[in-house]
Structure 1
Amino acid sequence: MDLFAKIKEVTELQAISGHEGPVRSYLRDKMTPLVDEVKTDGLGGIWGIRDNQETDAPTILVGAHMDEVGFMVSHIEANGTLRVVEIGGWNPLTISAQRFTLYTREGAHIPVISGAVPPHFLRGAGGQSLPSAGDIVFDAGFTDKEEAESFGVRPGDVIIPWSETILSANKRHIMGKSWDNRYGVLMVAELLEHLKGQDLPNRLVAGANVQEEVGLRGAKVSANLFDPELFFAVDCSPAGDVYGNQGKVGDGTLIRFYDPGHLMLPNMKDFLLTTAEEAGIKYQYYCAKGGTDAGAAHMQNKGIPSTTIGVCARYIHTHQTLYAMDDFLEAQAFLQAIVKKLDRSTVDTITTY
């Protein structure tokens, strides 16, 4: 299967925070033949463990997150339309006039669209103010509340963006939903596949957390469960290149040295830059305004030096993200080089102050 086909497969899965089952099943199938043990944590994170016979081998945790952003039905109106709450962060301007799928408790898949006020209704009204997610109508075409309920729709049902993953005309870029963070999910699967049959100088635990988009929740659980000496989040960040900011699509993996919840430690930065230079990795510096699971993991237990191995993509947290396949390849080569170097001596160097 070529890279585009792999990306299409994983990005078209439907799984928002707290409802990550389809991605968990995907990862379980991919990881099981490649690891010594597959383990789930108490919230539903899934992990492949490659054991090491050396008693002092360091434990390295590499974690993506399975969830994408979406919505949850808050209540059903008398006219059959739906109101929602956000699951993860949304720009209200990107919500209206889009297609979604509603998943009921019984497993029905119901097409839904998000409403948009026609310009005709805005004439003479002074324009439209910026709506909140709770103000936007979600419409499945039901005639009234009773009909919606007869199809099994209830408050708490999830609504997930529907978008086909496609190639750009130049065959270098991909357009579609959920690269944040199916990028990380595919990175973990590819990492384990490429390391198959190779000896490692560490005990590697690689997999994916749940509920990152709603507060970095799963990373706290996995960090405590496995008690690693180092943690590497694998996540996608917003590209700012078309807005004059950092993060350029096509310029390689990110050295994400700052975000509001995490500062990269000097020894970790030295290790990453040395590894990237030695391996010939294309990279760019990135100062972030949002967080990743590294921000949660690094404060667990006695403190876990952490960082994020990432790429950037335009327009994330929408139906239509754009990103470069070459960036994925650079990040994958970087992650492999990192994991192969993390022996006892190197980990001690990173964690000694």
Structure 2
Amino acid sequence: MKERIKDHLRNLTNLVGVSGSEQEVVRYMNEHLLAAADEVNVDHNGNVIAVKHGTSPGPKLMIGAHSDEVGFSVKSIQEDGYLYFDKIGVVSDQLLQGRKVWISSRKIPGVMGIKAGHLQTAEESRQVKPLRDCYIDIGASSKEEAEAIGIKIGDPIVFQSDFMELSNTDLISTKSVDNRISCAILIELFHQLKGKDFAGTVYGVVTVQEEVGLRGVASAAFTIDPDYAIILDTIPSGDTPDIDTEKVLPVFIGKGPACPVGDGVFGWGSYIHPKVREMIEEQSEKVQIPIQYVSLIGENYSTDAAALTTIGKGVPVGVLAIPRRYSHSPVELVNLRDAVDVLKVVKGIIGDNGKKSLSFI
């Protein structure tokens, strides 16, 4: 199970799929979910909706994972062949120099330029260069040459990052762990549901444009009208020297899935539904997997769950998140054991689908 998740994660993180340009990821998810689901559809926005029917009547359960990653897009092509770019999603300006990038699904190589240290003033060496002063070098000497290479305005750009296993091979570092790890879990989940008895219907939904405002999940939920939902995502871990772990963010990689009981950013936010929390608590106890419950109200964190609470009549929802270090960078770090634990808890919830009332009181 763990090795299959790792293989899918390796393949998925090698794809270019910033918000609004998720086609490569959508194609991959569509192909691999087709092999296990009863039906799979891709809606007009790019959401992948896979359906698995149970063996008896019961609630409609939506399991969601977003396909997009943070990155950039080509803003302009200069006469000397250099590129200026926009951010897509939240990326720290500290990451905008001296990085290798891929441009478009063709993976045109480029580098984010950085002034030679020999020529930097003392003040420049201490500054973080703002986005509008940063540029990408693709080795072109003119605008015409850049266009001949295939560069177009709006082309997506991602960090180029290898798939690195640490000495503990359960630890993986690469780009777009957020949220390709959950996409890999979703594929494995649907394959494990083949031939299993459960009530109701499971919808595996791969959503688009989560990183730019939770846009895709709303249309997918409108189509499905689920009775309740579990969102799979990643969550920052607090177990590094630069964070006051116990006070600010008591989340550790390798110590089980995290479950934010409340979160919020930029006006978005959600609180876990009490019955969904009970389901997570019961299943984690049943399979003896610890859950790291955490409050992130007012912090810069939210998930697709926030949009579900306001769509239609509202969807009871909870989040199971895989802890990862170095968020929204080319070196995001995750422990595969946490991903396996998420899968086990979700599979248990599906097995008991319909056994618990979804009443708020």
Distance in 2 between residues matched to 1:216 and 1:229, nearest whole Å: 19
Corresponding position: 1:256 with 2:260: yes
The one of 35, 47, 59 equivalent to 1:45 is 47
Aligned mate of 1:227, from 217, 225, 228: 225
- Contact 2:47 2:216 (8 Å CA) reproduced: yes
Relative to structure 1, the CA distance from residue 92 to residue 203 in structure 2 (aligned partners, 3 Å threshold; closer, same or farther) is same
Distance in 2, matches of 1:51 and 1:250, equals 33
Q: Are 1:283 and 2:291 an aligned pair?
A: yes
Partner SS for 1:34: coil
Q: Secondary structure at 2:199's aligned position in 1? A: coil
AA in 1 matched with 2:307: A
TM-score by length of 1: 0.93
Q: Name the CA distance, whole Å, in 2 between partners of 1:297 and 1:52.
A: 23
Q: Distance in 1 between matches of 2:220 and 2:128?
A: 38
SS in structure 2 at match of 1:57: strand
Cα deviation 1:196-253 (Å, max 9, x = unaligned): 1012211111130011111100011111110001011111111111022322111110
Query: Which runs of structure 1 show a deviation greater than 4 angstroms over 4 or more consecutive aligned residues?
Result: 124-128
Shift of 1:317: 0.8
TM-score (norm 2): 0.91
Could you say if the C-alpha distance between residues 91 and 52 of structure 1 is closer, same or farther in structure 2, counting changes exceeding 3 Å? Answer: same
Cα deviation, 1:269-311, whole Å, max 9, x if unaligned, reads 2222122112211221223331100011121010101111111
2:99 corresponding residue in structure 1: 98
Query: Could you tell me how far 1:99 is from its partner in structure 2?
Result: 0.8
Deviating more after overlay: 66-75 vs 127-136 = 127-136
Alignment correspondent of 1:168: 166
Instruction: Kindly provide the amino acid, as one letter, of the partner of residue 270 in structure 1.
Output: E
User: What amino acid is aligned across from residue 341 of structure 2 in structure 1?
Assistant: E
Contact 1:17 1:212 in 2 (8 A): yes
Residue 274 (structure 1) aligns with: 282
In structure 2, distance between residues paired with 1:172 and 1:151: 39
1:215 matched residue in structure 2: 213
Distance 2:16 2:239 in 1: 28
Other structure's SS at 1:251 match? coil
- 1:32 positional shift: 1.1
The match for 1:143 is 141
Q: Once the 2 structures are TM-superposed, how far is the Cα of residue 78 of structure 1 from its aligned partner?
A: 2.0
Q: What is residue 202 of structure 1 aligned with on the other side?
A: 200
Per-residue deviation, 1:350: 2.6
In 1, Cα distance between the equivalents of 2:331 and 2:289?
28
Q: 1:337 aligns with which of 324, 348, 352?
A: 348
Residue matched to 2:251: 247
CA distance in 1, matches of 2:210, 2:164: 26
Amino acid across the alignment from 1:339: I
CA contact (8 A) 1:178 1:316 kept: no
Paired position in structure 1 for 2:303: 292
The CA distance in 2 between the partners of 1:351 and 1:194, in whole Å, is 29
Three-state SS of the structure 2 residue aligned to 1:351 is coil
Cα distance change, pair 280–125 in 1 and its aligned pair in 2 (3 A): closer
Alpha-carbon distance in structure 1 between the residues aligned to 2:55 and 2:342: 28
Counterparts of 2:334 and 2:55 in 1: how far apart (Å)? 40
Choose from 17, 34, 41 the match for 2:19.
17
The question of 1:322 aligning with 2:333 is answered yes
| Further displaced range: 23-32 or 44-53 | 44-53
The aligned amino acid for 2:290 is K
Out of 176, 179, 183, the residue aligned to residue 178 of structure 1 is 176
Alpha-carbon distance change, 52 to 267 in structure 1, aligned in 2, over 3 angstroms: closer
Distance, in Å, in 1 between the alignment partners of 2:123 and 2:175 is 34
Counterpart code for 1:141:
G
SS of 2:311's partner is coil
Kindly provide the amino acid, as one letter, of the partner of residue 8 in structure 1.
R
Shift of 1:124: 5.0
Equivalent pairs counted in the alignment come to 346
Q: 1:166/1:129 Cα in 2 relative to 1: closer, same or farther (>3 Å)?
A: closer
Report what 1:122 is aligned to. Answer: 120
Q: 1:5 to 1:145 in 2, by over 3 A?
A: same
Q: CA deviation at 1:262?
A: 0.7
Distance 2:124 2:102 in 1: 33
> Structure 2 unaligned runs (5+)?
none
SS at match of 1:90: coil
Q: Percent identity?
A: 28
Q: Does 1:79 align with 2:77?
A: no
Give the aligned partner of residue 8 of structure 2: 6
Distance 2:54 2:254 in 1: 36
* Residues 41 and 225 in structure 1, CA contact (< 8 A), matched pair in contact too: no
